[in-house]
Amino acid sequence: MTPDAEPLHSKAFPVSWDQFHRDARALAWRLSGQGEWHAIVCITRGGLVPAAIVARELGIRVIETVGVASYHEYKDQGQLEVVKPVNGALIDMDGGQGAGILIIDDLVDTGATARVVRDMLPKAHFATVYAKPKGRPLVDTFVTEVSQDTWIYFPWDMGFAFQPPINKRSEG
Ligand SMILES: O=P(O)(O)OC[C@H]1O[C@H](OP(=O)(O)OP(=O)(O)O)[C@H](O)[C@@H]1O
Ligand SMILES: Nc1nc2[nH]cnc2c(=O)[nH]1
Ligand SMILES: [Mg+2]
């Protein structure tokens, strides 16, 4: 990065467990009435927690995973790797191509992960809790949009930490 270059993610959006539960439940509300799905395919690992909440709300008991990893270094996207493919029998149900399947992930950012999974299941419905503008066109249903330069901090990535009083904090 050149010295005066803008950092890619200059804003932070920390999400508590309470907030995440509310937002994932809001996703389930938006999905209810939009279709009948016989299975969820969640994109691990980030999709695991919202998939559990949506599955509980919509009464879906068949949960499959597809493993995709690309942010190997904190905040930096590297080579996208499919670490676990989708079960072929599930793709072929209901006429094939993922018809009747609900894909769940925590967020779309650049859309690279969504594009790869959509190619595997072109007829599935793709849902995320959060969406950034670049990835938004790839998502059928989401709850909250955040700007492209925001990094979302999920509750499972954070912990309680001491906060120094405001008047003791040094500048910069
Ligand atoms: O739209 P993109 O730019 O592709 O980014 C979105 C993906 O990045 C994160 O996954 P990550 O690769 O960090 O793996 P993880 O779910 O195991 O944390 C997140 O859970 C999404 O799956
Ligand atoms: N935790 C987290 N992972 C991501 N992967 C891609 N974008 C993000 C983000 O904003 N937050
Ligand atoms: Mg992920």
Enumerate residues with CB within 5 Å of ligand 3 (an ion).
Answer: 46
**Is 14-149 a domain of CATH 3.40.50.300?**
no
Quick check: 35 and 60 in contact, CB under 8 A? no
pLDDT tens column, 58-69: 999 999 999 999
Interface pTM, i.e. ipTM: 0.99
Q: How many CB atoms lie within 10 A of CB 107?
A: 21
Q: Which helix H or strand E contains 89, and what residues bound it? A: helix 88-92
pLDDT tens column, 15-44: 999 999 999 999 999 999 899 999 999 999
Residues with CB under 6 A from ligand 2: 71, 107, 109, 151-152, 154, 157
